[in-house]
Amino acid sequence: MAQQASEPNSSGVSFQEPHFQLLMSQLSILTNGMNDVRALLTEQTKKIDGCIANVTNLKQENDKLQSKVKDLEKKLDGMSASNIYAEFAARNLREKNIIIYGLDESSDDLINVSVILTELNPSNTPKPSKVTRLGKPSSQKRPLKVEFSCREEAIGILSKKSKLSLKSFSNVKIKNDYTPKQREELAKIYQEFDQRKANGESLRIKFIFGQPTIVPGSYKRPREEDESPNKNVTKIVKPRPESSKNSY
């Protein structure tokens, strides 16, 4: 049977029907391929847009950190070498201590402290080298400074402070022994933290290389960073610095 010829086109060329069908089939394949390419390009564009947004966020955080570094440099410029050394030495000494708030005034402070320490670390209870009430006697409960022979003993208690469950010590809080300068820095950090949280930012406070720092809620700690001024202490800073009239 003879193949049916199509009508001549405008150029006077006629197509055989099988050839025409083959051409249409190939055009359909090309069209589908183009659609797949468009879909892939759209997906890649979305990924690139997401990467650009992440880079923008990182740049903003980097700008904030650089601003903080400049502020710290200005503070250091205003401090003499002797003051810097004195602050450094004071922080090292205080790392061996803890401060207990809310413990009733008593002549048996050492016994009460021993009960608390045993509750927190029964298998290896550290023995304090000195227990001292801070400030002059008054109607309020004075903070209690507990000194240990090494920083590791203080760190061990601070890392387990949330486990204190005795009802008789339900109002007791255990915290780091910060210098006045450290408490001032923490107060400023929390003030900025509250302001930014009120503006809708998702934030946390973490210690990075011993420095309290505001970070995004999705922040992940690099391995080289020290989690807090005392290793193995809380990862995220929640308690606020105690306000005290005593500049101990």
Instruction: Report whether 92 contacts 178 (CB < 8 A).
Output: no
What's this model's pTM, rounded to 2 decimal places? 0.57
Closest CA to 173 of 234, 129, 219, 214: 234
Which residues, 6+ apart, have CB-to-CB distance to 169 below 8 Å?
103, 115, 116, 119
Question: What SS3 string covers 18-46?
Answer: HHHHHHHHHHHHHHHHHHHHHHHHHHHHH
Q: Across all residues in the chain, what is the average pLDDT?
A: 81
- Give the DSSP H or E segment for 130: strand 130-133
Sheet holding 144-147, edge to edge: 130-133, 144-147, 97-101, 173-176
Q: What is the pLDDT of residues 206-238, one digit of tens each?
A: 877 777 888 887 766 655 444 444 544 334 444
Q: How confident is the model at residue 11 (pLDDT cuts 50, 70, 90)?
A: low
Give the 3-state secondary structure of residue 227.
Answer: coil
Q: Rounded to the nearest 5°, which phi and psi values hold at 133?
A: -80, 140
Q: Reply yes or no on whether the pLDDT at 24 is more than 90.
A: no
Instruction: Report whether 177 contacts 94 (CB < 8 A).
Output: yes
For residues 98-106, average pLDDT: 93
Q: Indicate if the alpha-carbon torsion angle 112, 113, 117, 122 is positive or negative.
A: negative
* Homologous superfamily of the 94-176 domain (CATH): RRM (RNA recognition motif) domain (3.30.70.330)
Q: Look-up: residue for tokens 């060329």? A: 13
| Tokens coding 221 | 């700690």
Q: Reply yes or no on whether the pLDDT at 62 is more than 60.
A: yes
Instruction: Report whether 91 contacts 180 (CB < 8 A).
Output: no
Looking at residue 131, its pLDDT comes to: 96
Instruction: Report whether 226 contacts 208 (CB < 8 A).
Output: yes
Q: Reply yes or no on whether the pLDDT at 73 is more than 60.
A: yes
What are the CA-CA distances from residue 241 to residues 142, 176, 189 (Å)?
Answer: 15, 9, 11
For residues 3-31, average pLDDT: 66
What are the CA-CA distances from residue 174 to residues 75, 83, 152, 178 (Å)?
Answer: 30, 28, 16, 12
Which residues, 6+ apart, have CB-to-CB distance to 108 below 8 Å?
none
Q: Rounded to the nearest 5°, which phi and psi values hold at 107?
A: -80, -5
Rounded Cα gap, residues 179 and 247, in angstroms:
8
- Say which DSSP state 5 is in: B
Looking at residue 242, its pLDDT comes to: 63
